[in-house]
Amino acid sequence: MLAIIGGSGLTQLANLDVTRREVVRTPYGEPSGPLTFGRLGGRELVFIARHGYGHTIPPHRVNYRANIAALRNAGAGKVISVASVGGIRADLAPGSLVVPDQIIDYTWGRHSTFFDGHDGQVKHIDFTEPYDFDLRRRLLEAARLAGEAVVDGAVYAATQGPRLETAAEINRMERDGADVVGMTGMPEAVLAREAGLAYAALNVVVNHAAGRGASAHGIEMSAIEAMLQEAMMRVRHLLERLCEE
């Protein structure tokens, strides 16, 4: 079964034919909200809103372990993560859809592993390619069929938040090789890998990163909101195509 983790602007899948909602607990605590099961494009899936259904949980307080454990326990084998980002690379303007292929993790202090050594074992998973190849392909193919332009490949910088970055921090991330910046991509991706789930991300660029583009003098949350609403309509459409394949 496919799981979708919805980020800002995607607290529900309006086109999801909901069959049931389930409140679950995990050994890691409570996930961000109930799991929503339903059908989309003829396929059964499970959805969770990363920040809660009322968008009340900030990125650094999301219980990523509980969310991933809950989805796995519900029978999900694949996870598509939808998340908004700031665009660092000049061509990644607001409105762009991006399927990233690499990650740099700048987050700190988050519970970032299931392998805490409690079972007396030390495990190091391979994370050379953080996103699942086949699931990325499916996303790209669904975008093509939906007629939505998507950028294939980008380096995602995961920051701690909840504040936005300084211009100098964005300059440093660009020197590091980052193309987009967001606050939730890690540890979600690595936990999915540890849990044995195929994971890919669909990023929606909602603003120029700090010090870039017209946002050079500050980032307006109102502009981000407007962009989110519009872009998430396209994301829903794309996801529906993906479920039809």
- What residue ranges bind ligand HPA (CB under 6 A)? 84-86, 159, 164-165, 181-183, 206-207, 209
Residue nearest to ligand HPA (CB): 86
**For ligand HPA, which is the closer residue by CB, 7 or 31?**
7
51 is in an annotated binding site: yes
**For ligand HPA, which is the closer residue by CB, 146 or 158?**
158
Q: Which residues, in sequence order, are bridge partners of residue 84?
A: 204
Cα–Cα nearest to 198, from 124, 127, 135:
135
- Assigned token pair, 24: 């679950």
Pairwise CA distance, residues 191 & 186, whole Å:
8
**For ligand HPA, which is the closer residue by CB, 72 or 208?**
208
**For ligand HPA, which is the closer residue by CB, 173 or 192?**
173
Measured from the CB of residue 20, what is the shortest distance to ligand HPA in angstroms? 31
8 is in an annotated binding site: yes
183 is in an annotated binding site: yes
Contact in structure between 13 and 236 (CB atoms under 8 Å) = yes
Pairwise CA distance, residues 13 & 2, whole Å:
14
Pairwise CA distance, residues 88 & 133, whole Å:
24
184 is in an annotated binding site: yes
Per DSSP bridges, beta strands 78-87 and 180-182 are: antiparallel
CB atoms within 10 A of CB 227: 18
CB atoms within 10 A of CB 20: 9
113 is in an annotated binding site: no
**For ligand HPA, which is the closer residue by CB, 13 or 85?**
85
Residues 6+ apart with CB under 8 A from 147: none
32 is in an annotated binding site: no
Binding residues for substrate: 183, 207-209
Binding residues: 8, 50-51, 183-184, 207-209
Binding residues for phosphate: 8, 50-51, 184
